[in-house]
Amino acid sequence: MASESPTSAQDWPGRYHHIDQVLDNPGPRTDPAFLAGDGVKQFLRNEAKILVIGAGGLGCEILANLALTGFKDIHVIDMDTIDISNLNRQFLFRQKDVGHPKATVAAEFIMNRVPGVKVTPYFGKIQDKDDDYYMQFNLVICGLDSVEARRWMNATLVNLVDPENPESLKPMIDGGTEGFKGQARVILPTISSCYECSLDMLNKPTAFPICTIANTPRLPEHCIEWASVLEWPRVHGDKKMDTDDPDHIGWLYKVAAARAAEFKIEGVTWSLTQGVVKNIIPAIASTNAIIAAACCNEAFKIATSSAAYLNNYFMLIGTDGVYSYTFEHEKRDDCPVCGGEALEMTMSSETTVEQLIEILVEKQDIQIKKPSLSTPTKQIYLQAPPQLEKATRPNLEKKVSELVPSGGEVTVTATTLPFSLSLRISYSP
């Protein structure tokens, strides 16, 4: 008789021995709802369904940890394919996998290595799925490198919550790394602080003034920005730059290095060129491993009630040692996702609609790209479709005070976010 394949083999005796030590006996920090014994093990291994978003540096670690912890029904979503540069830290992939979807390859790898675990991949965007899809999961773990994707997922899970249906509350565990720093957090939609509540904690993206990069560059980054923002369209016209194309990066590097030499600026390198145009943050494998472990630890605690889960923020600072701390981030009453109140905004009566849009893009606790503005009675400015954009474009030069009375509300929307923001406008003397 042929031997069983790794994916069809049954669990071997003692496979979960160490985990069973936690699940068979209550401990000093056990949740009052914890029912030690076979019931909780049955739920973890045969009933719990978990969604992992992202199969990159964090996602690979998260998938492996979940499978080895006892979760057996795992789904993973990722829209990227494997690049040769991923192989140094995304350990589920090999050179033969380059060009293939991350989600698919990661799922196959886990199922081959961990018998009895089913990993269902989806190669695409989180926005492709509807509410019914997300309702099937017990919890969601995000291992993303995109603020926009996190905001979308956070808002989607908050919108799912129905007070009459406890099953509609899907805890979200969010992990993120930046070099030697990282964070893990637990979000209970509508109950705890959500991702949108803490936007003001994010580092603002670096932006260089056009006049500086065009006329008086002082840093190597200025030369690279000049090459990508000004020289590329001048030389290549409408041809879109592909930041994953080595030939395009090579052209930028060559042009930026020549400009740097002209202004006696040192420091333009290939890796810096990539970092500036792709906004690359160094990825450290050990940081990914620590944060993924923290996320999966929280998933295990939530799924089993075997210990109190995080309330609600954990940070790791590994730049000068190994330092971590936890704190509770509080909900914002004026959060556009989980709060119920309009955001108060005071501006000069001379502020134009165009200036208001710039404020909404730049303001740390809002950060909405390409916002559209309206009131209950009029459309102030709409980014799309083109016909409405053209029709409302003249309003950009008008003062907000001409269109909205003091105390009036403006609704802000964006195609990238599944929620609207209410602003209550007042004017300074």
* Pair 54, 140: CB distance under 8 Å: no
Which of 197, 211, 296, 335 is labelled catalytic? 211
**Which among 53, 63, 45, 73 has a CA at the least distance from the CA of 141?**
53
Annotated active-site residue 211? The verdict is yes
C-alpha separations of 315 from 175, 176, 183, 187, 208 in Å: 10, 10, 4, 15, 29
Q: What is the number of helices (H) and of strands (E) in the chain? A: 15, 13
- Rounded to 5 degrees, φ, ψ at 358 are -60, -40
**Which among 48, 107, 95 has a CA at the least distance from the CA of 73?**
48
d(CA 277, CA 286): 25
- Rounded to 5 degrees, φ, ψ at 424 are -100, 115
Q: What is the CA radius of gyration of the chain?
A: 25
Residues 6+ apart with CB under 8 A from 54: 77, 78, 142, 143, 144, 145
d(CA 96, CA 28): 48
Task: Say whether the peptide bond before residue 376 is cis (omega within 30 degrees of 0).
Answer: no
d(CA 86, CA 82): 7
Residue recorded with tokens 């993973």? 76
d(CA 414, CA 369): 7
SS3 content of the chain, % helix, strand, coil (to 5): 40, 20, 40
d(CA 310, CA 307): 10
Q: Which residues are catalytic?
A: 211
